Amino acid sequence: MRDYPSPRYPARCGRTHRIADLRPCEVAVVTGRLVGRDALSDETGTLCLCFEDAPDACAGDIVEVEGCLKAGRFHAKALRVLAPSRKTGAALSSETQTNLRQRAKIIAGIRRFFDEKDFVEVETPVLVPQPGMEPHLEAFQTAYDARPFFLHTSPEYAMKRLLAAGFERIYQICKVFRNEPAGRMHSPEFSMLEWYRAYADYTDIMVDTENLIAQLATDLNGEPVIRTARHTVDLTPPWQRLSVRDALFHYAGITADPHLETATFIRQAHAKGHATIDENDSPDLAFFKVFLDGVERHLGTQKPAILCDYPAPMAALAKRKASAPDVAERFEVYIAGMELGNAFTELNDPDEQRQRLTEEAIQRLRDGNPVYPLDEHFLAALEYGMPPSGGIALGIDRLVMLLTGASSIQEVVAFPFLDA
């Protein structure tokens, strides 16, 4: 039988207090990381230590210290090393630790908001045989049993299947995956909040969104306000409603529809100084160039902006507006120039949905992007019957950025994608 040596470091400790819970003149055992030679740090704070003899430990070690708090210093009479420290650089900054605690409160607040409104929290598969068909999204592909599978870009299709199955108010907090470059505002793996309401439309989701974010800010910071380096944004409902057509005119000086009047749109864009537009650009590409160049940064700088009524070709999962069939009942939320969420009055006509997904597949092929199979389970759910509904996908990482004042996603996640 192999002779195992005794462990060098104890399996258990005798901790009686965290640093923030210490009381003067009370004998206690505290644990944490040595900071230098005369301080101890745990999750709740930092403590000045006073030793009669130099401790047999190194800066960075995880230790247990027995002693008593007197005159603001912890007088130690015994110390044990619980785990050695041989490397530097693993610790999170104090700012990131604070943001992560705030993040936890925000997510708890999200659940409280929806639970109080009788929503059911659901879970749907992350690994799917058919990802979303949006022309501008690329999924991560893997395989199972020699069949292609994908990490989902959104739980939308599966959640709508639950609507068809009889759930009327559902929400989900999950990881989603989009094969796009990592940067200050995007990570290929990020956290998403989605919620759906049967017998509702996009105007109801607008109200939900206003109330949720205003409540989260109030719970976290004591007031419905977001402060960034450049803007102070009042979140008090109601927020600004602005159509895409009006935004293009107001901020970019363009009146033409990018899909119905593409040549005129490009000509007006050139006349207004949008030099990146090319004569051969597709309607979507021309729109996005103008939007990113001249519109987005102006949205939501004083009050959040709900940018609504997108050109119908840019909303394949949304219902067309009855009074204006060339636009769809879609909106995006902008706060301090940052896009935060994308919402629809959900399309529930199975024939029209199949046609639109097929058109998107053709567009993906034309753009040289992978073409994914149609999700026949989703389409079958629509054929079974999905009630009139509204829904939204909202980025949690960006929301945490705004609510904490962080300047990048890397500051609000424990393991940034590029460091993972």
pLDDT-derived band of residue 1, with 50, 70 and 90 as boundaries? low
Which pLDDT tens digit goes with each residue over 86-105? 887 667 888 999 999 999 99
pLDDT of residue 419: 61
The pLDDT value recorded for residue 53 is 83
pLDDT for 133 equals: 84
Contact 129, 150 (CB under 8 A): yes
What pTM was computed for the model?
0.93
Contacts for 231 with CB less than 8 Å, ≥ 6 apart = 301, 302, 336, 337
Most distant CA pair in the chain, distance: 85
pLDDT mean over 170-189: 95
Say if residue 413's pLDDT is above 90.
yes
Percent of the chain with pLDDT over 90: 84
Which of these, 143, 197, 150, lies nearest to 176 by C-alpha position?
A: 150
Task: Please report how the helices 283-294 and 244-252 are oriented relative to each other, as an axis angle in degrees rounded to 10.
Answer: 60
Q: Which two tokens stand for residue 293?
A: 């160049």
- Planar angle of CA 185, 190, 195, nearest 5 degrees: 110
Q: How far apart are CA 129 and CA 137, in angstroms?
A: 16
Q: Could you tell me which CATH number the domain at 19-83 has?
A: 2.40.50.430
Instruction: Kindly report, residue by residue over 367-400, the tens digit of the pLDDT.
Output: 888 999 999 999 999 999 999 999 999 999 999 9
- Please report the pLDDT score of residue 3 as a whole number: 76
pLDDT at 28: 96
> Which pLDDT belongs to residue 222?
96
What is the CB neighbour count within 10 angstroms for residue 376? Answer: 12
Banded model confidence at residue 40, pLDDT cuts 50, 70, 90: very high
pLDDT in tens, 108-164: 999 999 999 999 999 999 999 999 888 888 999 999 999 999 999 999 999 999 999
Superfamily name and number for 94-239+303-419: Bira Bifunctional Protein; Domain 2 (3.30.930.10)
Q: What is the pLDDT of residues 289-348, one digit of tens each?
A: 999 999 999 999 999 999 999 999 999 899 999 999 999 999 999 999 999 999 999 999
How far is 300 from 310, CA to CA, in rounded Å? 17
**Domain boundaries, given as residue ranges, for the chain:** 19-83, 94-239+303-419
Task: Mean pLDDT check: name the lowest of 1-5, 114-118, 170-174, 399-403.
Answer: 1-5
Average pLDDT over residues 57-71: 94
What pLDDT is recorded for position 328? Answer: 97
pLDDT, greater one: 54 or 207: 207
- pLDDT given at position 36: 86
Tell me if 19-83 shares its fold with 94-239+303-419.
no
Q: What is the pLDDT of residue 87?
A: 81
**Whether the predicted pLDDT of 205 surpasses 90:** yes
pLDDT at site 90: 67
